[in-house]
Structure 1
Amino acid sequence: MDTASVVVPAREEGERLERTLASLARQSFDGRLEVIVVASGTATRRVAREHGAVDRVLADDRCDGPGAARNRGAAAATGDVLLFTDADTVVPPTWVRRHWRHYATTAVVGVGGPLRPLAGGLAHRFRFRLLSDWWYRASWPVGFVQQPGPNCSVRRSAFEEIDGFDESLSFLEDTDLSLRLCEAGSVVYDPDCPVRTSVRRHEREGYLPLLLAYLVGYLEYALPNRSPTRDHFS
């Protein structure tokens, strides 16, 4: 039977993780779905262990960042396709199935999709559409491929070929993975496969400061011998 593995890094995310796992429990996927939570924090681990959708809980005592947590979950996974989302994100019932179908094309090694706000009014919806959908649609065709961490998947063989996420990066580790994946095959953007994610970061930091932080990160990433190691989102 075909197996898809979902890896969820969760750091101090009790209530939000419950909502994420509930959405994973409603997946309309015909194969076997495996859910692995890499959890730090007592409450977070308890929620993960008690939820029926979870197959395995890995304690994350090191808290070395999302890239390291995703790598650890991927190493424990058994699926041919690895999907990643976050513990403050809700995925639609067709999420796994929509990602999976792209891998029927053997050249495809990765899939990404847009983000939508989990709460908020018109301003949030417009800004998310601009920064987490239209920006991807514009950048993808020119080679600047960016699978967002809460809504991405990879073919396991390609993930292993490029050694997974770069754990030295505390920022833009998902963009780095996406660009390296392009060397192994085709990375697809599916505009009809959105997930809804928390707006707390945007409300706390503000959209303009976040946009500027990303622009600086992109510039640092592009410079020789430099990497976006800022702890802005830690």
Structure 2
Amino acid sequence: MDISVIIPTYNEEKYIETCLKSLECQDFPGNYEVIVSDGSSTDGTVDIAGRHADRVIVDRKDTIAYGRQAGAHAAKYSILAFTDADTYIPSDWLSNLAASLEDCRVVGAHGKLLPLDGNRIENDFCNYVLPPYSQFMVNINKPSVPGSNFAVRRKAFNKVRGFNTKLVTAEDVDLCNRIKKLGKFVYNPDAVVYVSTRRVREWGYLKMLSFYTSNTIKYHTKGTAGKLFEPIR
């Protein structure tokens, strides 16, 4: 099993090197490549990515879904793994995602998120609230997938034509809820990614919880998602 890791970026010079350096230390025994799909950054993102990634694609500024899609189209391996620029990736991430996909019936898997720079409240929320929620959503066949930590089979991705590039938010959830029709989708809490809390710091707990709760309900009931998601840099 070989894996292509895809990272969409736009003006991420503060974070991208940490992410890419962590991906250089994976214990995964198979082949893997790291693709940075950049939306015409105006800072040093592309230069930094060029020193660490296997391939850097620069395209027009568009939705994050467009960036993920462009990266996926450039990928060469049979498994597509997705993460974000403001993350730190433990060395066993790819191995754990791959373990979930050893079953040929499984078409996709997502892992657990932990805060990269969180306080005790945020750590406890991610350790004790999000995992049972994630498992519950998978159990009812409505995976609530984080864009910074999931993988799908390329064949399944191609069959559903990949991401809906018009979506500003919930592009990850939308993709995986279409792919799940082709097989089994699983949650693996051992596949951990540490994510920046910059949006929590900017928005606060109430706005953050309100947005993601309403967006999840909106997507699963109406098939739509929020169109406003200002960048936090």
TM-score (normalised: structure 1): 0.92
- Alignment partner of 1:99 out of 97, 100, 124: 97
- For residues 56 and 147 of structure 1, what CA distance do their matches in structure 2 show? 25
Call closer, same or farther: CA 1:9–1:131 in 2, change over 3 Å: farther
- Alignment partner of 2:155 out of 151, 154, 157: 157
What is residue 75 of structure 1 aligned with on the other side?
73
Q: Residue 46 in 1 paired to residue 50 in 2?
A: no
Q: Residue 129 in 1 paired to residue 130 in 2?
A: no
Q: Residue 232 in 1 paired to residue 233 in 2?
A: no
List runs of 5+ in structure 1 lacking aligned partners. none
- For residues 184 and 137 of structure 1, what CA distance do their matches in structure 2 show? 19
Letter in 2 for 1:230: K
Call closer, same or farther: CA 1:65–1:19 in 2, change over 3 Å: same
CA contact (8 A) 2:100 2:188 kept: no
Give 1:120 deviation, angstroms.
2.4
Letter in 1 for 2:21: A
Letter in 1 for 2:177: L
SS at match of 2:189: coil
CA contact (8 A) 1:171 1:233 kept: no
Letter in 1 for 2:57: L
What is residue 16 of structure 1 aligned with on the other side?
15
- For residues 28 and 223 of structure 1, what CA distance do their matches in structure 2 show? 40
Cα distance per residue 1:78-116 (max 9 Å; x no partner) = 010010000001111011111112222111110101100
List runs of 5+ in structure 2 lacking aligned partners. none
**Which residues in structure 2 correspond to 1:104-115 (within 5 Å)?**
104-115=102-113
CA contact (8 A) 1:99 1:153 kept: yes
Call closer, same or farther: CA 1:59–1:35 in 2, change over 3 Å: same
CA contact (8 A) 1:116 1:132 kept: no
CA contact (8 A) 1:168 1:229 kept: no
Give 1:67 deviation, angstroms.
0.9
Cα distance per residue 1:125-161 (max 9 Å; x no partner) = 1233355423212222122212210000000000001
Give 1:215 deviation, angstroms.
2.4
CA contact (8 A) 2:3 2:79 kept: yes
- For residues 87 and 66 of structure 1, what CA distance do their matches in structure 2 show? 11
SS at match of 2:210: helix
**Which residues in structure 2 correspond to 1:187-198 (within 5 Å)?**
187-198=185-196
Q: Residue 86 in 1 paired to residue 87 in 2?
A: no
CA contact (8 A) 1:140 1:189 kept: yes
SS at match of 1:13: coil
Call closer, same or farther: CA 1:220–1:121 in 2, change over 3 Å: closer
Cα distance per residue 1:182-227 (max 9 Å; x no partner) = 1011111001111100001011111221111122223332444x62
Q: Residue 169 in 1 paired to residue 167 in 2?
A: yes
Letter in 2 for 1:190: N
What is residue 29 of structure 2 aligned with on the other side?
30
Query: Over the residues paired in the alignment, what is the CA RMSD in angstroms?
Result: 1.6
Give 1:13 deviation, angstroms.
0.7
SS at match of 1:28: coil
Identical counterparts, % of pairs:
34
